[in-house]
Structure 1
Amino acid sequence: MSHQTLDVAPSRATPTPVPMKRLTVPAIRSRKGKEPIVMLTAYTTRMAQLLDSHCDALLVGDSLGQVIYGLPSTLPVTLDMMIAHGAAVVRGSHHSVVIVDMPFGSYEASPERAFESASRMLAETGAAAVKLEGGEAMAPTVAFLSARGIPVCGHIGLTPQAVNALGGYGARGRSEAEQAKILRDARAIADAGAFAIVVEGVVETLANAITAAIAVPTIGIGASAQCDGQVLVIDDMLGMFERTARFVKKFDDMAGRISAAVETYAADVRSRAFPGADQVYAARDQG
């Protein structure tokens, strides 16, 4: 007698993890001037599982507004959205430091408001740190959070949450005045206690100057190979979107591969080649 049974182990939700010791915020901080920090964005448990062993840090970016939800910018992203995806990424990782973006409107009003949002974020996700955008104006908030046990990653240069004030997504630091301002921003955030700073969309010479000027790691995105680390949006570097920023290098063509696989699936369904004998359940023998 032969029969087939459902394969329920391991579950998609809880595959057997490879035991790893998770990196810490101080470990990331200590990488200044040493081996470059590898960071990518992650928004789901399964993607976190795939990225975890290769990365030092996973950033749950508010870019999920565009990447996951199809929103026109990061501005409509809510704290609840960030918490849901942050918790999913923590569940899928065992090695990387998980950092979650503070969404627009959740921290700018006051340090106290920022603490309320950040403390909830860490408590409900299990993440190690938060990231917030802004320069000198945000330094008191960074200091307030850091003094109360909430690790903060800064973000200067091109700050997407300020896209309306900046007038678009163009590179920053093309004028001497803007370079001086961004350098002041970097120093202020580092001095306030940030353990690392994302430097986005600035001219290369400015990124190099910032990296040399501050004592904490810089993580570049559209900045310089001389930064202390690099980050990209995972869907961009995998080639999921046709239109990306100039600074994105596409390491694969996942969109093309997915399209080809679905085309084959559709053809098999229409020709009744799928499901085949290996994908259906036979009745049990009665003899």
Structure 2
Amino acid sequence: MSTIYKSEAGAHEIQEHYRESLWSWPVPAEQLRIPTREGETFVIASGPRDAPPLVLLHGSGSNSNTWRGDIASWAQHFRTYAVDLVGEPGGSDPSRPVLKSEAVALWLSDVLAGLNLSSTAMVGMSLGGWTALDYAIRRPEKVTRLVLLCPGGIGKQRFGWIFKAVLPRLLGRHDLRRQAALVTGLTGPGLDPILDDIELTFTHFKPRTERLPLFTDAQLKSLPMPVEVIVGAADAMFDSAETARRARQSIPHATVHVLPDVGHAILDQTDTVLKFLLDS
């Protein structure tokens, strides 16, 4: 049984749900399996083959379904590659390269080589934002533009939400859906499908538990490419005020947006991101 799931049955349920969801991917796509030193990596390729490349990296406890609301727009202008991070509940292998090392960047180098990409724009969310930023720092010649949505690695990681999530369990009021809303900040009409997916995932999935390494000011100052950072002011996972401050002060070519009353889950930024990606 894979160590990233609580049971074989739970792993099967998540994987089956993901496979079914891919049947309704919003645009025509190819499903690719790229061999890497961390095992097979699943990639969904969309958009014109001759368009500029755009690599998409989702967050922890998620998969490429993260980009369903964006892909129809972005794939009109780019050859998009939605990459399932290894060790997460998507289509890639369960390996978890050590974050405090070059292992994640080496894995992503293998993915880009398998896709025949010498350089690319990147969009990363949360853990995917940390992964994209780590790669851009280590391989700056490989990243042409960088978009970071609620990224780890810049502002401090917050853990107060854990107490709020655990207390109801101790009092016998375990409500995974309420916890998901608390952590993501997703409340209001029309969000039930997203919360359904999160509830299913964390019923059966064991997420990474280590703290994401923080990048130094010197590392951030070394970035030569244009960078867009978008954070929610009410993020329960990361100190978004610190993320915004450090990005403005230390990233040379940074555009920073702080979204009021938005939590960790950043939605509805399709046009903002596209404008940045197309800006020459």
TM-score scaled to structure 1, two decimals? 0.33
Q: Which entry has the higher C-alpha Rg, 1 or 2?
A: 1
Bigger strand fraction = 2
TM-score scaled to structure 2, two decimals? 0.33
